[in-house]
Amino acid sequence: MGNVVFYRKYRPQNFESVTGQDAIVKTLANAILNNKIAHAYLFTGPRGTGKTSLARIFAKAINCQNRNNKEFEPCNKCQSCLEINDGSSLDVIEFDAATNTGIDDIRALQDNAKIKPVNNKYKIYIIDEAHQLSKSAYGALLKILEEPPEYIIFILATTDPEKMLKTILSRVQRFDFKKILVDDIVKKLEGVLKKEQIEYELAALNLIAKESDGGMRDAESMLGQITTMSKKVTVEVVENIIGGVNQNKIASFVDLLIAKDNKNLFQAISDLDNDGYNLEEFYKSLVEYMQNLLVIKVSSDLASLFKYEIADDFINILKNQADKTDIKFVKQALKCLINNQSYFGVVQNNRLPIEISVLEITEEQK
Ligand SMILES: Nc1ncnc2c1ncn2[C@@H]1O[C@H](COP(=O)(O)OP(=O)(O)OP(=O)(O)O)[C@@H](O)[C@H]1O
Ligand SMILES: [Mg+2]
Ligand SMILES: [Zn+2]
């Protein structure tokens, strides 16, 4: 099966295969059909929702040598399209603002912008992580934008539009990308697995989609990871993976326990259940987590005991939580959890053991 990077292999190559950004696709397609191309665009939105992909598709479409005036899709066959696809185009320049922050990089960009496109109508700069551009870089960019040569187009992409300068924001046409819906993610994952001829359980894909919180790249990357571990994509395998990475959910659950926020605790249990999590597994992870909290509560020096199992970030979260609670609370909570663990398998509804524990833990100390 090998280690396939699905999110590269299945990057959308035309507008039609972009999922969940219909309004943006439509506006860009119309701009192409009406030949109303702006000089600067801003693509903002969460990670892995299609900003870079759409920037490349747009660049391909406006430079495509086979496209006639009544079409908006790139052909993906002409020299220009192929060069953009393999990243060798001299007229589509991808610039990562996070790493190219030096004044030299910007001077190079400024000089480069003065040179007409080599083989194409437009020269397109795709600037990733645009919020990380330095002041001098912004200055240079604004200068170009004041009187942009006919052939120049900038597409700025960022997950963090709040950090962009107002002077830049006022000069760009802005598109806000949305998180991708669970169903849309599931559909794409299904398509990938069918092409790869890998078997799957639909519920497993649903779990992956929910876990990736609207980010298609995360979903595809988790799927890739799973297919290297298992011949079939099952709920069980997905849960194993999520269990390992999903300390986040447990950490926020424990926050709620410490805050004795029963309403949100019950809501969280219901959400986990509806999202298809195995509540018994969650419960076990919660016990483990509380045990770690107990250890840290005894002495934060003991964190080194589990530094191989828990990421540093989470050790810091644990330490924070330890500061907010006393050892008696943690001890009682663990006792409740252990006592009630035997209810699993006895009661029909797996929510019940957690709900009872929650009530006992939060009551105990009142
Ligand atoms: N809307 C989408 N439709 C289909 N696939 C998508 C979509 N968005 C992302 N993907 C998948 O995720 C991968 C990464 O997408 P892309 O690079 O376009 O995300 P991005 O929004 O630029 O993310 P980042 O903010 O991290 O740069 C793509 O190769 C593709 O497989
Ligand atoms: Mg990107
Ligand atoms: Zn083409």
For the domain made up of 246-364, give the CATH fold.
Zinc Finger, Delta Prime; domain 3 (1.20.272)
Q: How far is the CA of 240 from the centre of ligand 2 (A)?
A: 29
Tokens of 184: 């849309």
Q: How far is the CA of 52 from the centre of ligand 2 (A)?
A: 4
Q: How many helices (H) and strands (E) does the chain have?
A: 17, 7
Q: Which long-range contacts (CB under 8 A, 24 or more apart) does 202-207 make?
A: 203/235, 203/276, 204/233, 204/234, 204/235, 204/237, 204/238, 205/233, 206/182, 206/276, 207/235, 207/238, 207/239, 207/242, 207/275, 207/276, 207/277
In the chain, what's the furthest Cα-to-Cα distance? 74
C-alpha 152/C-alpha 154 separation (Å) is 7
According to CATH, where is 1.10.8.60 located in the chain?
A: 182-244
pLDDT digits (tens, 9 = 90+) for 250-279: 999 999 999 999 999 999 999 888 877 788
Q: From the CB of 224, is ligand 1 less than 6 Å away?
A: no
Query: Number of C-alpha atoms within 13 angstroms, CB side, residue 67?
Result: 26
The C-alpha angle with vertex 246 and arms to 345 and 214, in degrees rounded to 5, equals 115
Q: Which mutation among 41, 47, 53 tests ligand 1's pocket best, with the greatest number of atoms within 8 A of CB?
A: 53
What's the pLDDT at 172?
95
Whether the predicted pLDDT of 337 surpasses 90: yes
Q: Which mutation among 181, 216, 221 tests ligand 1's pocket best, with the greatest number of atoms within 8 A of CB?
A: 216
Please tell me the number of the ligand nearest to residue 218's CA. 1
Q: From the CB of 159, is ligand 1 less than 6 Å away?
A: yes
- Supply the pTM of this predicted model: 0.73
C-alpha 210/C-alpha 343 separation (Å) is 28
pLDDT digits (tens, 9 = 90+) for 103-141: 777 788 888 888 999 888 999 999 998 988 888 888 888
119-123, 289-293, 312-316: range with lowest mean pLDDT: 312-316
Share of the chain above pLDDT 90, in %: 63
What's the pLDDT at 135?
82
Asked if residues 331 and 298 have their Cβ atoms less than 8 Å apart, the reply is no
C-alpha 324/C-alpha 312 separation (Å) is 19
pLDDT digits (tens, 9 = 90+) for 22-40: 999 999 999 999 999 999 9
Buried b (16+ CB within 10 A) or exposed e, 21-53: beebbeebbebbeeeebebbbbbbbbebbbbbb
Mean pLDDT, the chain, whole residue set = 90
What's the pLDDT at 176?
97
C-alpha 48/C-alpha 353 separation (Å) is 37
- Residues with Cβ < 8 Å from 74, sequence gap 6 or more? 13, 14, 57, 60, 61, 64, 67, 81
C-alpha 361/C-alpha 366 separation (Å) is 10
Q: From the CB of 131, is ligand 1 less than 6 Å away?
A: no
C-alpha 44/C-alpha 164 separation (Å) is 11
Tokens of 65: 């040598």
**Higher-pLDDT residue of 137, 169:** 169
Q: From the CB of 258, is ligand 1 less than 6 Å away?
A: no
15-19, 248-252, 261-265, 307-311: range with lowest mean pLDDT: 307-311
According to CATH, where is 3.40.50.300 located in the chain?
A: 21-176
Tokens of 362: 């939060």
Work out the average pLDDT over 57-83.
96
CATH class in words for 182-244:
mainly alpha
- Residues with Cβ < 8 Å from 265, sequence gap 6 or more? 253, 256, 257, 358, 362
Residues lining ligand 2 (ion), CB within 5 A? 51-52
Q: How far is the CA of 334 from the centre of ligand 1 (A)?
A: 42
21-176 has which CATH code? 3.40.50.300
Confidence of residue 291 (pLDDT cuts 50, 70, 90): very high
C-alpha 228/C-alpha 363 separation (Å) is 45
Confidence of residue 245 (pLDDT cuts 50, 70, 90): very low
Q: How far is the CA of 99 from the centre of ligand 2 (A)?
A: 14
Confidence of residue 331 (pLDDT cuts 50, 70, 90): very high
pLDDT digits (tens, 9 = 90+) for 189-213: 999 999 999 999 998 999 899 889 8
SS3 at position 158: strand
For 196, counting Cβ atoms within 10 Å of its Cβ (0-12 exposed, 13-18 middle, 19+ buried), the class is middle
